[in-house]
Protein backbone atom coordinates (compact mmCIF):
# COMPACT_ATOMS: atom_id res chain seq x y z
CA UNK A 1 0.00 0.00 0.00
CA UNK A 2 2.85 2.35 0.76
CA UNK A 3 4.33 1.91 -2.74
CA UNK A 4 0.91 2.64 -4.26
CA UNK A 5 0.58 5.76 -2.11
CA UNK A 6 4.05 6.90 -3.14
CA UNK A 7 3.24 6.31 -6.80
CA UNK A 8 0.09 8.42 -6.69
CA UNK A 9 2.04 11.11 -4.89
CA UNK A 10 4.51 11.34 -7.78
CA UNK A 11 2.28 10.78 -10.80
CA UNK A 12 -0.17 13.08 -12.60
CA UNK A 13 -3.35 11.86 -10.92
CA UNK A 14 -5.63 14.29 -12.79
CA UNK A 15 -4.34 13.14 -16.18
CA UNK A 16 -4.74 9.46 -15.31
CA UNK A 17 -8.23 10.01 -13.89
CA UNK A 18 -9.36 11.86 -17.03
CA UNK A 19 -8.18 8.93 -19.15
CA UNK A 20 -10.00 6.45 -16.89
CA UNK A 21 -13.15 8.61 -17.05
CA UNK A 22 -12.99 8.61 -20.87
CA UNK A 23 -12.65 4.82 -20.93
CA UNK A 24 -15.61 4.50 -18.55
CA UNK A 25 -17.73 6.72 -20.81
CA UNK A 26 -16.62 4.66 -23.82
CA UNK A 27 -17.78 1.41 -22.21
CA UNK A 28 -21.10 3.05 -21.32
CA UNK A 29 -21.56 4.34 -24.89
CA UNK A 30 -20.73 0.98 -26.47
CA UNK A 31 -23.06 -0.81 -24.05
CA UNK A 32 -25.80 1.64 -24.99
CA UNK A 33 -25.12 1.06 -28.69
CA UNK A 34 -25.19 -2.75 -28.23
CA UNK A 35 -28.50 -2.57 -26.38
CA UNK A 36 -30.33 -0.18 -28.69
CA UNK A 37 -28.79 -0.49 -32.16
CA UNK A 38 -26.62 -3.60 -32.08
CA UNK A 39 -27.91 -7.10 -31.55
CA UNK A 40 -27.49 -7.03 -27.77
CA UNK A 41 -27.10 -10.51 -26.30
CA UNK A 42 -26.93 -13.48 -28.67
CA UNK A 43 -30.21 -15.42 -28.47
CA UNK A 44 -31.15 -18.95 -29.37
CA UNK A 45 -33.32 -18.92 -32.50
CA UNK A 46 -35.74 -21.49 -31.06
CA UNK A 47 -35.97 -20.84 -27.33
CA UNK A 48 -35.07 -17.17 -27.30
CA UNK A 49 -32.72 -17.75 -24.37
CA UNK A 50 -29.44 -15.87 -24.06
CA UNK A 51 -26.59 -18.00 -25.41
CA UNK A 52 -23.81 -15.41 -25.69
CA UNK A 53 -22.81 -11.81 -25.03
CA UNK A 54 -23.46 -10.75 -28.64
CA UNK A 55 -22.63 -7.12 -29.40
CA UNK A 56 -21.99 -6.45 -25.72
CA UNK A 57 -18.68 -8.13 -26.52
CA UNK A 58 -17.40 -4.82 -27.92
CA UNK A 59 -18.05 -3.04 -24.63
CA UNK A 60 -16.51 -5.93 -22.70
CA UNK A 61 -13.38 -5.91 -24.90
CA UNK A 62 -13.14 -2.14 -24.48
CA UNK A 63 -13.36 -2.47 -20.69
CA UNK A 64 -10.81 -5.30 -20.58
CA UNK A 65 -8.39 -3.48 -22.88
CA UNK A 66 -8.73 -0.31 -20.81
CA UNK A 67 -8.02 -2.22 -17.57
CA UNK A 68 -4.92 -3.85 -19.08
CA UNK A 69 -3.92 -0.54 -20.67
CA UNK A 70 -4.12 1.33 -17.36
CA UNK A 71 -1.88 -1.29 -15.77
CA UNK A 72 0.59 -0.98 -18.68
CA UNK A 73 0.53 2.83 -18.39
CA UNK A 74 1.28 2.68 -14.67
CA UNK A 75 4.14 0.23 -15.17
CA UNK A 76 5.53 2.15 -18.15
CA UNK A 77 5.40 5.44 -16.29
CA UNK A 78 7.94 4.04 -13.83
CA UNK A 79 10.39 3.47 -16.71
CA UNK A 80 12.54 6.45 -17.70
CA UNK A 81 11.45 7.45 -21.21
CA UNK A 82 15.10 8.09 -22.17
CA UNK A 83 15.84 4.37 -21.86
CA UNK A 84 12.99 3.62 -24.30
CA UNK A 85 14.49 6.03 -26.80
CA UNK A 86 17.94 4.45 -26.43
CA UNK A 87 16.64 1.01 -27.46
CA UNK A 88 15.12 2.40 -30.65
CA UNK A 89 16.57 -0.36 -32.91
CA UNK A 90 14.57 -2.91 -30.94
CA UNK A 91 11.12 -1.30 -31.19
CA UNK A 92 11.73 -0.13 -34.77
CA UNK A 93 12.61 -3.69 -35.84
CA UNK A 94 9.59 -5.17 -34.04
CA UNK A 95 6.95 -2.63 -35.08
CA UNK A 96 7.95 -2.10 -38.71
CA UNK A 97 8.76 -5.80 -38.97
CA UNK A 98 5.04 -6.31 -38.37
CA UNK A 99 3.96 -3.53 -40.72
CA UNK A 100 6.04 -4.40 -43.80
CA UNK A 101 4.59 -7.89 -44.47
CA UNK A 102 1.14 -6.33 -44.93
CA UNK A 103 2.45 -4.44 -47.97
CA UNK A 104 2.72 -7.62 -50.00
CA UNK A 105 0.68 -10.20 -48.08
CA UNK A 106 -3.08 -9.79 -48.22
CA UNK A 107 -5.59 -12.04 -46.50
CA UNK A 108 -3.17 -14.94 -46.16
CA UNK A 109 -4.17 -17.31 -43.35
CA UNK A 110 -1.60 -19.39 -41.49
CA UNK A 111 -3.38 -21.46 -38.85
CA UNK A 112 -5.30 -19.04 -36.58
CA UNK A 113 -3.36 -16.01 -37.94
CA UNK A 114 -4.43 -13.91 -40.93
CA UNK A 115 -1.82 -11.50 -42.31
CA UNK A 116 -2.95 -8.48 -44.32
CA UNK A 117 -6.50 -8.71 -43.04
CA UNK A 118 -9.08 -6.27 -44.42
CA UNK A 119 -11.14 -5.07 -41.47
CA UNK A 120 -13.58 -3.02 -43.59
CA UNK A 121 -14.99 -2.50 -47.08
CA UNK A 122 -11.95 -0.57 -48.36
CA UNK A 123 -8.51 -1.31 -49.82
CA UNK A 124 -6.91 -1.23 -46.36
CA UNK A 125 -5.13 -4.55 -45.70
CA UNK A 126 -3.04 -3.30 -42.78
CA UNK A 127 -4.42 -5.61 -40.09
CA UNK A 128 -3.56 -8.92 -38.46
CA UNK A 129 -6.30 -11.21 -37.23
CA UNK A 130 -5.61 -13.82 -34.57
CA UNK A 131 -8.30 -16.07 -33.09
CA UNK A 132 -11.06 -13.52 -33.67
CA UNK A 133 -9.05 -10.52 -32.48
CA UNK A 134 -7.69 -7.88 -34.88
CA UNK A 135 -4.56 -5.80 -34.48
CA UNK A 136 -3.23 -2.93 -36.60
CA UNK A 137 0.59 -2.77 -36.31
CA UNK A 138 0.75 0.82 -37.59
CA UNK A 139 -0.74 1.90 -34.24
CA UNK A 140 2.22 0.34 -32.42
CA UNK A 141 4.60 1.71 -35.05
CA UNK A 142 3.15 5.16 -34.38
CA UNK A 143 4.60 5.03 -30.86
CA UNK A 144 7.98 3.93 -32.21
CA UNK A 145 7.83 6.76 -34.76
CA UNK A 146 7.19 9.34 -32.03
CA UNK A 147 10.17 8.06 -30.00
CA UNK A 148 12.58 7.95 -32.96
CA UNK A 149 11.45 11.30 -34.37
CA UNK A 150 11.86 12.86 -30.90
CA UNK A 151 15.39 11.43 -30.76
CA UNK A 152 16.13 12.80 -34.24
CA UNK A 153 14.89 16.27 -33.26
CA UNK A 154 16.85 16.13 -30.02
CA UNK A 155 20.03 15.29 -31.94
CA UNK A 156 19.45 18.11 -34.42
CA UNK A 157 18.65 20.69 -31.72
CA UNK A 158 19.17 24.23 -33.03
CA UNK A 159 20.00 23.12 -36.58
CA UNK A 160 16.44 22.18 -37.55
CA UNK A 161 16.15 25.13 -39.95
CA UNK A 162 19.29 24.20 -41.89
CA UNK A 163 18.15 22.76 -45.26
CA UNK A 164 20.31 19.64 -44.92
CA UNK A 165 18.95 18.72 -41.48
CA UNK A 166 15.38 19.64 -42.40
CA UNK A 167 15.67 17.40 -45.46
CA UNK A 168 16.69 14.47 -43.28
CA UNK A 169 13.73 15.10 -40.96
CA UNK A 170 11.33 15.24 -43.89
CA UNK A 171 12.72 11.94 -45.18
CA UNK A 172 12.24 10.45 -41.70
CA UNK A 173 8.62 11.62 -41.85
CA UNK A 174 7.81 10.69 -45.45
CA UNK A 175 9.13 7.10 -45.49
CA UNK A 176 6.59 5.74 -42.95
CA UNK A 177 3.83 7.86 -44.51
CA UNK A 178 4.60 6.33 -47.92
CA UNK A 179 4.57 2.81 -46.46
CA UNK A 180 1.19 3.37 -44.81
CA UNK A 181 -0.22 4.93 -47.99
CA UNK A 182 0.80 1.83 -49.95
CA UNK A 183 -1.07 -0.24 -47.36
CA UNK A 184 -4.21 1.72 -48.20
CA UNK A 185 -4.63 3.45 -44.83
CA UNK A 186 -4.44 7.12 -45.79
CA UNK A 187 -6.24 8.21 -42.62
CA UNK A 188 -3.40 6.89 -40.46
CA UNK A 189 -0.82 8.33 -42.90
CA UNK A 190 -2.34 11.79 -42.41
CA UNK A 191 -2.11 11.40 -38.62
CA UNK A 192 1.58 10.49 -38.92
CA UNK A 193 2.15 13.69 -40.92
CA UNK A 194 0.38 15.82 -38.32
CA UNK A 195 2.40 14.20 -35.52
CA UNK A 196 5.67 15.05 -37.27
CA UNK A 197 4.55 18.61 -37.99
CA UNK A 198 3.59 19.20 -34.35
CA UNK A 199 6.94 17.86 -33.17
CA UNK A 200 8.91 20.00 -35.65
CA UNK A 201 6.89 23.05 -34.60
CA UNK A 202 7.79 22.32 -30.96
CA UNK A 203 11.44 22.03 -32.03
CA UNK A 204 11.41 25.57 -33.43
CA UNK A 205 10.75 25.12 -37.14
CA UNK A 206 10.93 28.52 -38.84
CA UNK A 207 7.67 30.19 -39.78
CA UNK A 208 9.03 30.74 -43.30
CA UNK A 209 9.02 26.97 -43.81
CA UNK A 210 5.58 26.62 -42.22
CA UNK A 211 4.01 29.30 -44.43
CA UNK A 212 5.81 27.94 -47.52
CA UNK A 213 4.51 24.44 -46.80
CA UNK A 214 0.95 25.72 -46.32
CA UNK A 215 1.12 27.71 -49.57
CA UNK A 216 2.52 24.72 -51.46
CA UNK A 217 -0.18 22.45 -50.05
CA UNK A 218 -2.93 24.90 -51.02
CA UNK A 219 -1.53 25.21 -54.54
CA UNK A 220 -1.24 21.43 -54.88
CA UNK A 221 -4.86 20.96 -53.79
CA UNK A 222 -6.04 23.63 -56.24
CA UNK A 223 -4.13 22.04 -59.14
CA UNK A 224 -5.39 18.58 -58.13
CA UNK A 225 -9.00 19.76 -58.11
CA UNK A 226 -8.62 21.64 -61.36
CA UNK A 227 -6.72 19.18 -63.54
CA UNK A 228 -6.29 15.75 -61.95
CA UNK A 229 -9.50 15.11 -60.03
CA UNK A 230 -10.19 11.85 -61.87
CA UNK A 231 -6.72 10.45 -61.13
CA UNK A 232 -6.35 11.19 -57.43
CA UNK A 233 -6.61 8.41 -54.90
CA UNK A 234 -9.13 5.62 -55.09
CA UNK A 235 -12.57 6.32 -56.47
CA UNK A 236 -14.40 6.16 -53.15
CA UNK A 237 -11.84 8.48 -51.49
CA UNK A 238 -12.36 11.18 -54.07
CA UNK A 239 -16.12 10.79 -53.86
CA UNK A 240 -16.00 11.21 -50.08
CA UNK A 241 -14.17 14.52 -50.47
CA UNK A 242 -16.63 15.76 -53.08
CA UNK A 243 -19.57 14.61 -50.93
CA UNK A 244 -18.49 17.07 -48.23
CA UNK A 245 -18.06 19.94 -50.72
CA UNK A 246 -21.22 19.18 -52.70
CA UNK A 247 -23.47 16.87 -50.64
CA UNK A 248 -26.45 17.36 -52.97
CA UNK A 249 -24.45 16.32 -56.07
CA UNK A 250 -25.40 19.56 -57.85
CA UNK A 251 -22.17 19.47 -59.87
CA UNK A 252 -22.82 15.87 -60.91
CA UNK A 253 -19.64 14.45 -59.36
CA UNK A 254 -21.31 11.09 -58.70
CA UNK A 255 -21.69 8.99 -61.86
CA UNK A 256 -24.99 7.56 -60.61
CA UNK A 257 -27.61 8.19 -57.95
CA UNK A 258 -26.80 4.85 -56.32
CA UNK A 259 -23.14 5.83 -55.83
CA UNK A 260 -24.14 9.27 -54.54
CA UNK A 261 -26.52 7.84 -51.94
CA UNK A 262 -24.03 5.17 -50.89
CA UNK A 263 -21.25 7.75 -50.37
CA UNK A 264 -23.32 10.25 -48.36
CA UNK A 265 -25.40 7.69 -46.42
CA UNK A 266 -23.15 7.21 -43.39
CA UNK A 267 -22.40 10.88 -42.81
CA UNK A 268 -26.01 11.84 -43.50
CA UNK A 269 -27.27 9.39 -40.89
CA UNK A 270 -24.56 10.49 -38.47
CA UNK A 271 -25.58 14.13 -38.84
CA UNK A 272 -29.23 13.27 -38.23
CA UNK A 273 -28.34 11.13 -35.21
CA UNK A 274 -26.27 13.92 -33.66
CA UNK A 275 -29.07 16.43 -34.08
CA UNK A 276 -31.80 14.08 -32.89
CA UNK A 277 -30.34 13.96 -29.39
CA UNK A 278 -31.18 17.58 -28.69
CA UNK A 279 -29.81 19.07 -25.48
CA UNK A 280 -29.93 16.06 -23.16
CA UNK A 281 -30.22 13.13 -25.57
CA UNK A 282 -32.71 10.33 -26.06
CA UNK A 283 -31.42 8.35 -23.10
CA UNK A 284 -28.50 5.97 -22.74
CA UNK A 285 -30.63 2.81 -22.67
CA UNK A 286 -34.03 4.22 -23.48
CA UNK A 287 -35.72 6.12 -26.29
CA UNK A 288 -35.75 6.37 -30.07
CA UNK A 289 -32.48 6.23 -32.00
CA UNK A 290 -31.34 6.74 -35.57
CA UNK A 291 -29.34 3.92 -37.09
CA UNK A 292 -25.82 4.87 -38.24
CA UNK A 293 -23.44 2.40 -39.96
CA UNK A 294 -20.38 1.70 -37.81
CA UNK A 295 -21.77 3.79 -34.96
CA UNK A 296 -19.64 1.70 -32.58
CA UNK A 297 -16.44 2.60 -34.43
CA UNK A 298 -15.66 5.73 -36.49
CA UNK A 299 -19.11 7.20 -35.79
CA UNK A 300 -19.29 6.63 -32.03
CA UNK A 301 -19.53 10.41 -31.55
CA UNK A 302 -22.83 10.43 -33.46
CA UNK A 303 -24.11 7.78 -31.07
CA UNK A 304 -23.03 9.87 -28.06
CA UNK A 305 -24.93 12.84 -29.47
CA UNK A 306 -27.92 10.60 -30.18
CA UNK A 307 -28.09 9.11 -26.71
CA UNK A 308 -26.55 11.82 -24.47
CA UNK A 309 -27.29 14.94 -26.48
CA UNK A 310 -25.37 18.20 -26.71
CA UNK A 311 -24.48 18.10 -23.01
CA UNK A 312 -23.00 14.62 -23.33
CA UNK A 313 -20.97 15.67 -26.39
CA UNK A 314 -19.63 18.71 -24.50
CA UNK A 315 -18.57 16.56 -21.55
CA UNK A 316 -16.86 14.01 -23.77
CA UNK A 317 -15.04 16.62 -25.87
CA UNK A 318 -14.23 18.77 -22.84
CA UNK A 319 -12.42 15.91 -21.11
CA UNK A 320 -10.67 14.81 -24.32
CA UNK A 321 -9.35 18.30 -25.03
CA UNK A 322 -8.32 18.63 -21.38
CA UNK A 323 -6.24 15.45 -21.87
CA UNK A 324 -4.65 17.01 -24.98
CA UNK A 325 -3.85 20.25 -23.14
CA UNK A 326 -2.44 18.32 -20.18
CA UNK A 327 -0.24 16.34 -22.58
CA UNK A 328 1.17 19.52 -24.10
CA UNK A 329 1.71 21.18 -20.71
CA UNK A 330 3.57 18.12 -19.45
CA UNK A 331 5.88 18.54 -22.42
CA UNK A 332 6.27 22.24 -21.63
CA UNK A 333 7.27 21.33 -18.06
CA UNK A 334 9.91 18.85 -19.18
CA UNK A 335 13.45 19.90 -18.31
CA UNK A 336 14.86 18.26 -21.44
CA UNK A 337 13.74 18.67 -25.02
CA UNK A 338 13.38 14.93 -25.57
CA UNK A 339 10.45 14.78 -23.15
CA UNK A 340 8.95 17.89 -24.76
CA UNK A 341 9.11 16.35 -28.23
CA UNK A 342 7.54 13.07 -27.08
CA UNK A 343 4.61 14.90 -25.47
CA UNK A 344 4.25 17.15 -28.54
CA UNK A 345 3.95 14.05 -30.74
CA UNK A 346 1.43 12.30 -28.50
CA UNK A 347 -0.57 15.50 -27.98
CA UNK A 348 -0.55 16.13 -31.73
CA UNK A 349 -1.78 12.59 -32.43
CA UNK A 350 -4.65 12.93 -29.94
CA UNK A 351 -5.60 16.40 -31.17
CA UNK A 352 -5.56 15.32 -34.81
CA UNK A 353 -7.63 12.19 -34.24
CA UNK A 354 -10.23 14.06 -32.18
CA UNK A 355 -10.53 16.91 -34.69
CA UNK A 356 -10.70 14.65 -37.76
CA UNK A 357 -13.13 12.16 -36.21
CA UNK A 358 -15.51 14.85 -34.96
CA UNK A 359 -15.23 16.60 -38.32
CA UNK A 360 -16.26 13.37 -40.04
CA UNK A 361 -19.26 13.03 -37.74
CA UNK A 362 -20.28 16.67 -38.25
CA UNK A 363 -20.00 16.24 -42.04
CA UNK A 364 -17.37 18.95 -42.43
CA UNK A 365 -14.51 16.53 -43.25
CA UNK A 366 -14.52 13.42 -45.47
CA UNK A 367 -14.65 9.94 -43.94
CA UNK A 368 -11.05 8.67 -43.77
CA UNK A 369 -11.28 5.97 -41.11
CA UNK A 370 -9.87 7.87 -38.12
CA UNK A 371 -11.12 6.69 -34.73
CA UNK A 372 -12.06 8.77 -31.68
CA UNK A 373 -9.44 8.16 -28.94
CA UNK A 374 -10.72 6.04 -26.00
CA UNK A 375 -14.23 5.80 -27.49
CA UNK A 376 -14.14 3.95 -30.82
CA UNK A 377 -14.44 0.18 -30.38
CA UNK A 378 -11.14 -1.69 -30.62
CA UNK A 379 -9.09 -3.34 -27.92
CA UNK A 380 -5.71 -2.99 -29.67
CA UNK A 381 -6.15 0.75 -30.29
CA UNK A 382 -7.02 1.26 -26.60
CA UNK A 383 -3.90 -0.61 -25.52
CA UNK A 384 -1.73 1.48 -27.86
CA UNK A 385 -3.35 4.65 -26.53
CA UNK A 386 -2.54 3.73 -22.93
CA UNK A 387 1.09 3.08 -23.90
CA UNK A 388 1.12 6.73 -25.01
CA UNK A 389 -0.46 7.71 -21.69
CA UNK A 390 2.30 5.80 -19.92
CA UNK A 391 4.95 7.72 -21.88
CA UNK A 392 3.41 11.07 -20.93
CA UNK A 393 3.29 10.01 -17.28
CA UNK A 394 6.92 8.89 -17.55
CA UNK A 395 7.91 12.39 -18.71
CA UNK A 396 5.86 13.89 -15.88
CA UNK A 397 7.45 11.69 -13.22
CA UNK A 398 11.06 11.63 -14.38
CA UNK A 399 11.78 15.07 -15.68
CA UNK A 400 9.47 18.02 -15.09
CA UNK A 401 9.61 21.50 -13.64
CA UNK A 402 6.98 24.09 -12.75
CA UNK A 403 5.44 25.62 -15.87
CA UNK A 404 5.90 29.24 -14.79
CA UNK A 405 9.10 29.06 -12.86
DSSP letters, 96-109, are: HHHHTHHHH--SEE
The count of other CB atoms within 10 Å of the CB of residue 3 is 7
* pLDDT 10s digits, 185-207: 888 999 999 999 999 999 999 98
Distance from C-alpha of 270 to C-alpha of 359, rounded to nearest angstrom: 11
Q: Given phi > 0 = left and psi -120 to 50 = alpha, else beta, which region is 43?
A: beta
pTM: 0.91
pLDDT score at 405: 46
Mean pLDDT of 171-193: 90
Q: What DSSP designation does 370 have?
A: P
Please give, one letter per residue, the 3-state secondary structure of 288-332: CCCCCCCCCCCCHHHHHHHHHHHHHHHHHHHHHHHHHHHHHHHHH
The count of other CB atoms within 10 Å of the CB of residue 46 is 6
- Per-residue pLDDT for 42 more than 70? no
Comparing 183 with 233, the larger pLDDT belongs to 183
Secondary structure class of 135 (helix, strand, coil)? strand
pLDDT score at 394: 96
C-alpha closest to that of 384 among 69, 53, 14: 69
* pLDDT 10s digits, 354-404: 999 999 999 999 988 899 999 999 888 999 999 999 999 999 998 766 554
* pLDDT 10s digits, 247-262: 888 888 788 888 888 8
Please report which confidence band the pLDDT of residue 235 belongs to, taking 50, 70 and 90 as the band edges.
low
Mean pLDDT of 142-159: 94
Distance from C-alpha of 65 to C-alpha of 59, rounded to nearest angstrom: 10
Comparing 10 with 20, the larger pLDDT belongs to 20
Amino acid sequence: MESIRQYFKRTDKVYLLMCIFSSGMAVLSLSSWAAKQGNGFALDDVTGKIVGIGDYRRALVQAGAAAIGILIAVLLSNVDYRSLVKVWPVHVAITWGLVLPTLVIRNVTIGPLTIGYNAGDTDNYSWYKLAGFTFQPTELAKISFILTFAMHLNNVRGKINEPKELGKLLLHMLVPIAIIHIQGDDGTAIIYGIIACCMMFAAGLSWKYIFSALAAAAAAVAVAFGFFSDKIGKGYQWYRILAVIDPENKTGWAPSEAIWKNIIYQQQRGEIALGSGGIFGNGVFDGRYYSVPNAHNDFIFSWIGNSMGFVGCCVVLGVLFAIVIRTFTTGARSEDMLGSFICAGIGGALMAQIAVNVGMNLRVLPVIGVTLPFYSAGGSSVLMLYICVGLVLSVYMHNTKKLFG
